[in-house]
């Protein structure tokens, strides 16, 4: 039984449209990118969520941003023989091989991954606690963040406030974990790399720049 | 010393442009996406490479595609207690929670990750063989692909041909590994999910649909 | 306050894609259509439902089909001074001015309008019975169909069976009402027009040709 | 005598082509649309004219657009107990039940309905003035537009210029009439709906975005 099929026609049509317009108008640029390689200015780490249209929000053009997208824009702590290699590999490649100047973590509202983490920590999602749950084990990275959010807000938050606070905490945890990578620490020290934390509200389009963090 | 800084102004400007145009013209749609959640039609797995502007190529709009991007668009085999959780978590979320109808893997020419894998296998990149190399350990997923490419092409390929063949093999390996996930196998059997493999040439903008695969 | 806004950019991009490909490849044909007018072969009456992609299903090309789409693909009976003029005007134009050879009514599964009619007749949708409900008053056209379906199926149908039977009845009622228009009756008598009734199942893509009807 | 006949074979063949290609490649998506219902992003109101191939122009795919097509893309003013229910019902369903984010009215060149209205107003088409003419009574909606076009262009327009101006006026009148529906007014006020006006030239494929309108 064949399990790989041709591209759905609605995408074929869009591709041909792109080829005849955007590509055609920029063919020289694309050719240059192919022969000279990429020199992206920044790495973006954001969520896979279909509503986070980062390419539109930042007018992303070919060659500009090295983009890693995973569930809930998480970054695990430095752990060279451990798990979660995909994200660490992307970061290593961007910082040590491409030497990007900016590393931007973008979180967002209504994040399903963050909500799953919260449900899991509150005992409302036993299926995510299973050893076999990939989403659960991935969201473990954010578990300590739940306690930190609670400690930070002595007055009890309602569910929506809690989710938003944890979404922002996931960006903070990612930034802190980035600093556990020796090559990032060094690049930040040498002023060849700056880190940035953002959170966007999908409904209103608002973009929040998260507070500066110090060592 | 502060290590997290405000958003660079070139991005602030672009964001404000987006907010005043695309967001404003589609505010109703963004609000609907926020309140009703995402219902993406497809998941796209592609490379972090800045030259792969998948959003432009497929006219990607907010809410349409759940996008995971990692180095060399790899998918590890199903291994519920093992490494590489980030990619598996994204796939699990897309297929079991969002129930996307299409899963599309898009590879590309001049892929730095694939080239690294080849160099590593040919003994030209000892640094990638270190246990501490995140990129090396991530590209291990593609190692068996190198032998398969050689077996498939008895006549020796030059370096560029070899790289292109391995880039396409990385898509094939991803598709095969996707089929090792029980929930994907089941969804494919039930005809609720179809898999697609693509490869694009950055310089010419050409898009190749990889051959159908059977079980 | 401005209440009319520019075209959303996701459509602008698609339009430019179409202009550079489909339009460009067929510019001679479009120019001919502009100067010589339309000579469509058939009129299609189908539902507004976004899932009924009649253009794709029948490979509709520019100039081929005069297409009227309304809620639940209804046709009111001939009533020259009465309501529902929009549908009657479309039919009159297609048959008397354009002299189409075929008039095709296409119904479909999971029709929200038909379901509303059923709910209304069963007393489950008092809001649709309000004089001010446009959907309710429009679906009144199908009211007699509910009794006819029940009479035809002495064994009680479950809700899904009932909905499907009424969806097909809506096509039948449309065909019968078409025959109340004198110019249609005459064209059918003269063999210059044939009528056709179809129903499609959205999930399976199945197309059913409804039984022949006689006078 | 049977007056309903089987589907003409040229359509049967096309249907089977669609079933074996587009449907088959997207079966999972169609099944999802059947079980989860439609969530279209926009409503399109356009003319029945066979030359207005809106599905091609905007790469319309299943599930994206709720499409109403009538003669000359007209919208009558809000009149809950009056005529023209079909169009109002479609609008009511799209805005109040489906909660589409965009409502787009698309007019076009060489519109037969608009030309009929002009001929009628100039006394060149007595048959359209008959009480029994469905097209005439339907085009009455655009009658006030004829005077408005003349008032706007003190210099006399030739027949073609007049027709084009009235085609664009028909879009404007539709947009104004849409604003007479309380539920549209409210949705526009709440920024949950935006209105858009377009006109396309069939021969050249040009698309014009009509000027913004304010209240």
What tens-digit pLDDT sequence spans chain D (215 residues)? 567 888 988 899 999 999 998 998 899 999 999 999 999 999 999 999 999 999 999 999 999 999 999 999 999 999 876 555 899 999 999 999 999 999 999 999 999 999 999 999 999 999 999 989 999 999 999 999 999 999 998 888 999 999 999 999 999 999 999 999 999 999 999 989 999 999 999 999 999 998 766 66
pLDDT for residue D112: 97
CA distance D48 to chain A (A): 23
Grade residue A6 by pLDDT with cuts at 50, 70 and 90.
Answer: confident
B32 contacts in D (CB within 8 Å)? 99, 101, 192
Which pair of tokens denotes residue A125?
């999602």
Average pLDDT for A124-139: 93
Q: In what order do the strands lie in the sheet with D102-108?
A: C207-209, C194-200, C102-108, C42-47, C65-70, D65-70, D42-47, D102-108, D194-200, D207-209
Strands B207-209 and B194-200, by their bridges, are: antiparallel
The confidence score (pLDDT) of residue D4 equals: 87
Least confident of B43-52, B57-66, B167-176, D72-81: D72-81
pLDDT, tens digit, 9 for 90 and up, residues C14-56: 999 999 999 999 999 999 999 999 999 999 999 999 999 999 9
ipTM of the complex: 0.95
CA max distance for chain D: 58
Cα–Cα distance measured from residue A135 to residue B79, given in angstroms and rounded to the nearest whole number: 13
Q: How confident is the model at residue C1 (pLDDT cuts 50, 70, 90)?
A: low
Main-chain phi, psi angles of A192, to 5 degrees: -100, 0
Q: Which residues of A192-205 are buried (b: 16+ CB within 10 A; e: fewer)?
A: ebbbbbbbbbbbeb
Q: Tokens in use for A85?
A: 């290699």
pLDDT score recorded for residue C51: 97
- What per-residue confidence (pLDDT) applies to B212? 65
pLDDT band at A135 (very low <50, low <70, confident <90, very high): very high
Cβ contact, residue pair B59, C14, below 8 Å:
yes
Dist CA A134 CA A180 (whole Å): 24
At residue C13, the pLDDT reads 87
Q: Flag whether pLDDT at A2 surpasses 80.
A: no
C16/A21 CB distance under 8 A: yes
A17 to chain C: closest CA residue:
C17
Q: Does C21 touch chain A (CB under 8 A)?
A: yes
Per the model's pLDDT, the better-predicted residue between C102 and C155 turns out to be C102
Give the burial class of D123: count Cβ atoms within 10 A of its Cβ; 0-12 exposed, 13-18 middle, 19 or more buried: exposed
Higher pLDDT, A173 or C13: A173
| % chain A with pLDDT above 90 | 83
Which residues does residue B214 pair with via DSSP β-bridges, in sequence order? A2
Interchain CB distance below 8 Å, D134 and C85: yes
Neighboring chain D residues of A17 at a CB cutoff of 8 Å: 59
Q: What pLDDT, on the 0 to 100 scale, is given for residue B213?
A: 67
Helices (H), D140-181: 143-152, 159-178
Predicted local distance difference test score (pLDDT) of residue A214: 63
The DSSP-derived string for D30-47 is HHHHHHH----SEEEEEE
Q: Which of A97-101, B100-104, C50-54, C79-83 has the lowest mean pLDDT?
A: C79-83
3-state percent breakdown (helix, strand, coil) of chain C, nearest 5: 50, 15, 35
**Neighbouring residues of C32: CB distance < 8 A, sequence distance ≥ 6:** none
* B201–chain A Cβ distance below 8 A for any pair: yes
What is the average per-residue pLDDT within A117-124?
95
Of B28, B187, B194, which is closest to D101 when you measure between CB atoms? B28
Cβ distance of D25 and A17 shorter than 8 Å: no
Sheet with B207-209: list strands edge to edge. Answer: A207-209, A194-200, A102-108, A42-47, A65-70, B65-70, B42-47, B102-108, B194-200, B207-209
Does the pLDDT at position B107 exceed 70?
yes
Which of A17-21, A127-131, A164-168 ranks highest by mean pLDDT?
A164-168
Which chain A residue has its CA at the smallest distance from D61's CA? A10
Q: Which of C21, C55, C59 to mutate to test the interface with A (most CBs of A within 10 A)?
A: C21
Lowest mean pLDDT among B138-147, B185-194, C204-213, D75-84: D75-84
Q: Indicate whether C82 pLDDT > 60.
A: no
DSSP code at position D77: P
Please check the confidence at residue A3 and state whether its pLDDT lies above 80: no
Helix/strand/coil for B208: strand
- Report the mean per-residue pLDDT for chain A: 92
pLDDT averaged over chain B?
92
Q: Which pLDDT value is given to residue D103?
A: 97
Mean pLDDT confidence for B43-62: 96
If contacts are CB pairs under 8 Å, which of residues 152-171 in chain D contact chain C? none
**Pick from C8, C13, C14: CB nearest B25:** C8
Burial group, residue B144, by CB count within 10 angstroms (0-12, 13-18, 19+): exposed
B71-100 residues touching A, CB cutoff 8 A: 71, 74, 80-94, 97
Rounded-to-integer distance, Cα B28 and Cα B10, Å: 27
Q: Is D200 exposed, middle or buried (0-12, 13-18, 19+ CB in 10 A)?
A: buried
- The arithmetic mean of pLDDT across residues A12-31, rounded, is 92
Buried b (16+ CB within 10 A) or exposed e, C54-69: bbbbbebebbbbbbbb
Closest approach of D191 to chain C, Cα-based (Å): 10
Average pLDDT of chain C to the nearest whole number: 92
Query: What digits encode the pLDDT tens for the residues C174-189?
Result: 999 999 999 999 999 9
CA distance C206 to D142: 40
Q: For residues A118 and D97, what is the distance between their CA atoms, to the nearest angstrom?
A: 32
pLDDT of residue A4: 85
In which band, very low, low, confident or very high, does the pLDDT at B85 lie, cut at 50, 70 and 90? confident
pLDDT of residue D92: 97
Considering only CB atoms, which chain D residues are within 8 Å of C23?
205
């Amino acid at each position: 039984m064949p399990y790989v099929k041709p591209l759905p026609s609605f995408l074929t049509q869009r591709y041909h449209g792109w080829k005849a317009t955007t590509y055609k108008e920029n063919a020289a640029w694309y050719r240059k990118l192919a022969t000279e390689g990429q020199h992206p200015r920044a790495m973006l780490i954001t969520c896979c969520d279909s509503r986070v249209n980062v390419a539109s929000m930042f007018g992303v053009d070919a060659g500009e941003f090295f983009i890693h997208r995973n569930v809930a824009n998480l970054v695990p702590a430095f752990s060279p023989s451990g798990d979660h290699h995909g994200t660490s590999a992307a970061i290593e490649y961007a910082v040590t091989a491409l030497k990007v100047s900016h590393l931007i973590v973008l979180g967002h509202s209504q994040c399903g991954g963050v909500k799953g983490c919260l449900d899991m920590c509150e005992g409302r999602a036993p299926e995510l606690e299973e050893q076999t749950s990939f989403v659960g084990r991935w969201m473990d990275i954010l578990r300590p963040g739940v306690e930190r959010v609670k400690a930070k807000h002595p007055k009890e938050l309602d569910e929506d406030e809690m989710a938003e606070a944890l979404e922002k905490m996931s960006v903070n945890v990612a930034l802190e974990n980035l600093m556990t990578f020796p090559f990032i620490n060094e690049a930040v020290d040498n002023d060849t790399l700056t880190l940035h934390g953002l959170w966007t509200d999908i409904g209103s389009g608002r973009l929040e720049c998260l507070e500066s963090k110090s060592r």
